[in-house]
Amino acid sequence: MKEVIHRNSVSRILSIGLAILLAFSTTLFGQEGDPDRGKQLFNSNCAACHKLDQRMTGPALAGITKERDREWLHAWIKNNVALRKSGDPDAIAIFEEFNGAAMNTFPQLSEQDIDDILAYTENPPAPAVAPQGEAAGQAVAVESSGISNEVVLVALILVFGMLVVMLVLVNKALKNIAQAKGVELPGEGEARLPLWKAFAKNQFLVLVSVIFLLLVSAYFVYGYLMQVGVDQGYEPVQPIHFSHRIHAGDNEIDCKYCHSSARVSKTSGIPSLNVCMNCHKNIMEVAPETATAEHSKAFYDGEIQKLYEAVGWDVQNQAYTGETKPVKWVKIHNLPDFVYFNHSQHVTVAGLECQKCHGPIEEMEVVSQYSPLTMGWCVECHRTTDVRMEGNEYYEKIHEELSKKYGVEKLTAAQMGALECGKCHY
Amino acid sequence: MASNRKYWKSVEELDENNSVVETLKQNEFVEEIPVDEFLGDKENLQNSSTSRRDFLKYVGFSTAAATLVACEGPVKKAIPYVVQPEQIRPGVANYYATTIADGFDFASVLVKTREGRPIKIEANGDASFMGSPNARVNASVLSLYDKMRVQGPKSGGEYISWDDLDQKVIAGLNAAKASGKQIVLLTQTYASPSTNKLIAEFAEKYGNVKHVQYDAISENAALEAFAAKYGKRALADYDFSKADLIVSFAADFLGDWHGGGFDTGYAAKRIPTNGKMSRHIQFEANMSLSGANADKRVPLKPTQQKVALAKLYGYLSGASVSGDLPEQADEAVKAAAAQLRKVGKNAVVITGIDDVDAQLLVLKINELLGSVVSDVKSPRLLRQGNTAAVTQLIQDMKAGRVGALITSGVNPLYTLHDAAGFAEGLNSVGLSVAFSMKEDETAIAAQYIAAAPHYLESWGDVEMKQGHYSLMQPAIRPLFDTRQLQDALLKWLGEDKTYYDYIKAYWEDDVLGGQSWNKALHDGVFVAATATVTNVETSSTSENEAEEITATTTDINAAVRRLASATGSDFELTLYPKTGMGDGQQANNPWLQEFPDPITRVSWDNYITVSRADADALGFSNRHVANGGLNGSYANITVNGVTIEKVPVLIQPGQARGSIGLSFGYGKKEGLKSEMQVGVNAYKLYENFNAVQAVTIEKAAGEHEFACVQLHNTLMGRGDIVKETTLEIFNTKDAAEWNIAPVVSLNHQEVEASNANLWNDFDTSIGHHFNLAIDLNACTGCGACVIACHAENNVPVVGKDEIRKSRDMHWLRIDRYYSSEDTFGEDNVMKDELPKGAKDTFLELEIAAENPQVAFQPVMCQHCNHAPCETVCPVAATSHGRQGQNHMAYNRCVGTRYCANNCPYKVRRFNWFLYNNNDEFDYHMNDDLGRMVLNPDVVVRSRGVMEKCSLCIQMTQKTILDAKREGRAVRKDEFQTACSAACGSGAMVFGDVNNEEDTVVALKQDDRMYHLLEHIGTKPNVFYQVKVRNTEEA
């Protein structure tokens, strides 16, 4: 848990820094308690530990002005340590209630700033509806495009139907005319050989078509057999609905922040839950705008609760209970045992983007296997990809010699020997 | 022309009236087959709604359904840590320094762990003493994952809680204290200073506490002798890297004599440098590893060894010593004495004779020589067992004087000669607690089994050599509910702290002298600066006792007289620890059971070794049967009234006439899987803790089936396989004369084989090109590499029956060759001269000499640049790598075995069966616990594929990747294989020949370099160094 504390303190230092910046950049408005400005200040200074409606590291702050004396609040926020030292019983009580978690001091906040924040806690501005509208608009747009496609289809069917009807009518009319004119229609009455019998009689044609059929079925059978064990597109349901779209896409968290062992190890590593808690200790719910048509905010919040349950985090008391339920993720990318693959070779040495093999992970709500992970796919890349050698002392000598041998400046992985069986199979 | 001869098939046919014959003419069977009976009643069958067609439909449907279901891949789960420990990264190995001290094996080692699981034992390069683990230490990691371990404290066969046990034991201890009876701690040698202190504290609290240390295989005589001379129960240490001459009397110092670990120093001096190497003379009865490596080996019965030693002293000191010795042996002793005198202080005499006189004499001789090899100032402490105390304990127990007995790390009911006496005594002990990893003989007999942890789960400190400390730290959380003795003692003392706290405090106060605890723990070893100071004190105290010194000098003469007058019986038995099994603690370790003995090449057994002359006289035989297995006679052997029946007999070249050998460690019954319950228990014959016993042998009925991996024992004059020369020739003649390059005929002209070429050469000049050098001079045949290879490459264990069918899976074998004449050189001459016609000569050459020369040759895949296996594989499963490795793609292999047939070195191994998850092969790979030892970087091969040494491509690839990731060139000698890393003697050197810095480059250009079977033009990447023997007599 050392790391968690460490990260927390980093975020604290950052927030203090931000606060200092803000304090020096903002000018006083002279207005009594501006909730909008208070929201800004709250988010930059207080949100790391406080929420309006929920206990976090510190108490919930909605309606705090009703519970506490405003002057006391000012003193507490400015310098709670001094207040506690002065022996204020309330201050000591609150300190003890939260397990001695010391609150930062905010000497940089002016009286006005504090009033603004308190105004925000009294009556928070109504949540913006714009994003919801936007989302709704998007949904409508998607729907309307769906409708237009259907309309086109229906119209086309109608047109084709009309054409068929017209053809039948024309045919009927022509027959009638012929009858009326006494023209004898050809073929009628004469027993013509049915088509299939004629086909059966032509042995050459039969032979050719049998061969053709065999070839076609062989093609499909081969195709079918070759995809046995290839799980491209495998998209299992995971015990916790973890959205890479939100984390890697919207929040632009670096892949290797969570999958850190990809840098040094053969496995990319499924992050341990303490890595999740680095952020989720403070992020207990998603922003309303995160919700999509498919998954509501409540759904996402519920998934975060699953994390807390797994890691044994008591949200009320902001403490670990020690009761853990390790998450049994379903492994998506399964290489057979007889293949050795090393992430760090590709990530650190070659400097490949994760997306090269894993696809647009940052857009995936649920991760699926993007690449076929077949040997052909590996080999193809090794044949065509140049090895990144610049600035790597390891490659200096071999690059010099090999480029002379092959007469090229850049060397592909294959030329380095990456197609040899034993490089991956041992 | 028609014949009226009547043909008949049986006598009955001749009888015309036989009804059976008549019936059989018409029908196949005499009686009608009772079809109805097994089809049930007809009516029911006919009324059944299931017609034959329906039945076929069902069959078809279920087959199709089963096929469809099989198409779906299994769902694999991945479970990450909840809180990942900072030092663990999945997929990256961590190394911890620790120490094994199981009472028999002591070594400072590094433990390789993956995701928190120890998977391999490696050498600790920081250790100045006992830093390279032997085969058993290498295998000890598997004993951690032993399914037969006791999983928690037990009483009366039921698991109980530790609290329960504590309560009962404390009550028992108090009762013993109140009654005034002894409380005895019977333990292995811990050589642990903190444990000694702890036991002293325990004694203080409980009063009448006795600590009896007990070694299953005793060094009591040597300890007594050292104590008599230097005042401390310890063993002299020897630094063979300083020795120019070693004269050994039955001391198997390359085996387990004095705790072993001498190979590194020995091998250093065996490699000829500047025309010099050490000379080694061995007098012994059994063919031991040391004898096999000796320049001159003199087979002598144990009693003759005593006489020889006495005579040697006589020749050295000038005193005349009488005593009978065969003339040849006497000459050898004389020659040895002459050389000793010549070499002086760089010579050393050692002995393994279980006799205080002999041990005293050797100490005296070394003192006379002023030997710099022998170190008596900071002696070895890794054997402390006191046989007198053990005998006294049994008497005390029988007399009811022992109130409580706590055993730890020992199994006296199996290892004691007087096990029956101990068992009887145990009944009159008020409280008996056995700290044990297994439900072994002693644990079962004790009232309480205190489940003990493996050393990889324990804390500890060891002072193996005075002043040389090492630390034991756990590399994994205890797998079971176990507690080590020291923690239990602390608990019973009422202390709150753990043994870890205790050690740390002890070290900070008494050992470290201000140095950092964390650094000591990290290094695993610590050499005290004060070590020499305390030595001076001890030596000065002994000097003060002048009386004692004069006593010892007069003693010497008496000792020599006693030794010289030693008389033996017709047959003398020498008990010895086998390289693989040691004292038998790890008998449930399948790696060790399957490990072929370096000398006899037999696995899964112990046996008596008999000389050919004696075998012929007693009617014993060894023969090969049709499937290639070795069969041998049985013998009943009797020592002083104790008979072991049906002991297999193995005819051992080099065994002294009138002597037989039998190894300890087998014949254990409790705490072992049934597959491992092999051999006979030699401890039953270990009377008075003397390894040498007078014995009578008689032939018993039946034939024993050995699992022996080498069918041909002699080199048969094939001097190009193991090239040998003498130091004299090596120094005086041109390399072309003693390292003859083979020639072949090319275009009707004789050219050197290396110049004749059928193939296009691979370009190996760019990038890495790996070579493995094996120095036949340094290789002692210890087999550490074999086990290291097992561990690194997930080599399966196949069991005794399969080994017998030559289906062993060892990727690395150590061939052992005997000479059929007295030396290999004479063999070559004999083969070349062909005096009697080829056939007879070769038949004769197949028989090893009575006292043959021995050569060890590790052979693994030679990674030929022109590999015969590659060209015959129909599916290209084996192919050539640019870095010199011959690759084997298991998933591509279809198992034609063409490659194995075409391999001239016979190093390819075929998976005849599925060796994992298969109840037919109930070894470690058949249970989840045992499989934890598998190396995750190497695939476990399945049935029907070929496998072989890969030159540890997973390790070379890792080294390359590490360098790439750190953006640097590969460092000097950074490339290693499991075998080269495990080789303590430096015989195996691995490296990149394209990197001029690597040691292997110089070795490849050395005059002694040769390739195995060079004339067939395979151009291997493994090469050997010609063996040089120091045959200079004076």
| Per-residue pLDDT at A139 exceeds 80 | no
Across the range A30-34, mean pLDDT stands at 61
The reply to whether A247 falls in a domain is no
pLDDT of residue B1021: 94
The reply to whether A187 falls in a domain is no
Instruction: Give the residue from chain A lying closest to B883, CA to CA.
Output: A417
Instruction: Give the residue from chain B lying closest to A267, CA to CA.
Output: B91
Domain range enclosing A224: 195-228
Q: What percent of chain A has pLDDT over 70?
A: 85
> Which domains does chain B show, CATH number per domain?
1-76 (no CATH), 154-218+385-527 (3.40.50.740), 220-380 (3.40.228.10), 572-708 (2.40.40.20), 724-795+808-865+949-1029 (3.30.70.20)
Q: Is the Cβ–Cβ distance between B73 and B101 less than 8 Å?
A: no
Distance of alpha carbon B71 from alpha carbon B808, whole angstroms: 35
Number of Cβ within 10 Å of residue B451's Cβ equals 26
Q: Is the Cβ–Cβ distance between B898 and B878 less than 8 Å?
A: no
Give me the CATH number covering residue A20.
1.10.760.10
- CA distance to partner chain A, nearest, from residue B794 (Å): 11
Q: Judge residue B918's burial from the number of C-beta atoms within 10 Å of its C-beta, 0-12 exposed, 13-18 middle, 19 or more buried.
A: middle
Contact A327 B79 (CB under 8 A): yes
Contact A272 B78 (CB under 8 A): no
The reply to whether A315 falls in a domain is no
B25 φ/ψ angles, rounded to the nearest 5 degrees: -65, -35
Contacts of A312 in chain B (CB under 8 A): 82
- Cα–Cα separations (whole angstroms), residue A123 to A39, A52, A56, A286, B208: 10, 10, 20, 21, 80
Of A2, A394, A405, the CB nearest to B964: A394
**Confidence category of residue A291, pLDDT binned at 50, 70, 90:** confident
Structural domain ending residue among the three candidates A70, A104, A122: A122
The reply to whether A48 falls in a domain is yes
The reply to whether A141 falls in a domain is no
| Interface A:B, Cβ pairs < 8 A | 154
pLDDT of residue A284: 87
| Per-residue pLDDT at A11 exceeds 60 | no
Same-domain pairing of A19 and A112: yes
Q: Is the Cβ–Cβ distance between A341 and A357 less than 8 Å?
A: no
Contact A337 B940 (CB under 8 A): yes
Q: Is the dihedral of CA B800, B806, B812, B813 positive or negative?
A: positive
- CA distance to partner chain A, nearest, from residue B77 (Å): 5
Instruction: Select the residue from A394, A395, A402, A406 to test the B interface by mutation, using most B Cβ atoms within 10 A.
Output: A394
The total of structural domains in chain A comes to: 2
A315 φ/ψ angles, rounded to the nearest 5 degrees: -65, -40
pLDDT of residue A64: 82
pLDDT of residue A129: 46
CA gyration radius, chain B: 32
Contact B965 A348 (CB under 8 A): yes
Instruction: Select the residue from B769, B886, B964 to test the A interface by mutation, using most A Cβ atoms within 10 A.
Output: B964
Same-domain pairing of A117 and A199: no
Instruction: Give the residue from chain B lying closest to A237, CA to CA.
Output: B75
Distance of alpha carbon B873 from alpha carbon B875, whole angstroms: 6
- CA distance to partner chain B, nearest, from residue A268 (Å): 8
Instruction: Select the residue from B79, B81, B890 to test the A interface by mutation, using most A Cβ atoms within 10 A.
Output: B81
DSSP secondary structure string, B954-968?
HHHHHHHHHHHHHTS
Going by their DSSP bridges, the two strands B182-187 and B209-213 should be labelled as parallel
Contact B84 A272 (CB under 8 A): yes
Same-domain pairing of A17 and A117: yes
| Per-residue pLDDT at A395 exceeds 80 | yes
- Cα–Cα separations (whole angstroms), residue B126 to A35, B260, B470, B504: 67, 19, 11, 21
The pTM (predicted TM-score) of the whole model is 0.83
CA gyration radius, chain A: 35
pLDDT of residue B34: 66
Same-domain pairing of A95 and A205: no
Same-domain pairing of A201 and A116: no
Of A328, A397, A426, the CB nearest to B77: A328
Same-domain pairing of A111 and A6: yes
Those residues of chain B that have pLDDT short of 70 are 1-14, 21, 24, 28-31, 33-48, 69-73, 530-554, 834-841, 1034
> Residue B158 carries which DSSP code?
E
Distance of alpha carbon B772 from alpha carbon B991, whole angstroms: 7
Contacts of A310 in chain B (CB under 8 A): 82
Contact A425 B891 (CB under 8 A): yes
Structural domain ending residue among the three candidates A106, A122, A138: A122
Closest Cα partner for B890 from B866, B867, B905, B908? B908
Contacts of B770 in chain A (CB under 8 A): none
End-to-end CA distance of chain A: 38
The reply to whether A139 falls in a domain is no
Structure tokens at A75: 């003193």
Contact B79 A328 (CB under 8 A): yes
Same-domain pairing of A110 and A9: yes
Structural domain ending residue among the three candidates A100, A122, A144: A122
- Buried b vs exposed e over A345-363: b needs ≥16 C-beta within 10 Å? bbbbbbebebeebbeebbe
SS3 A85: helix
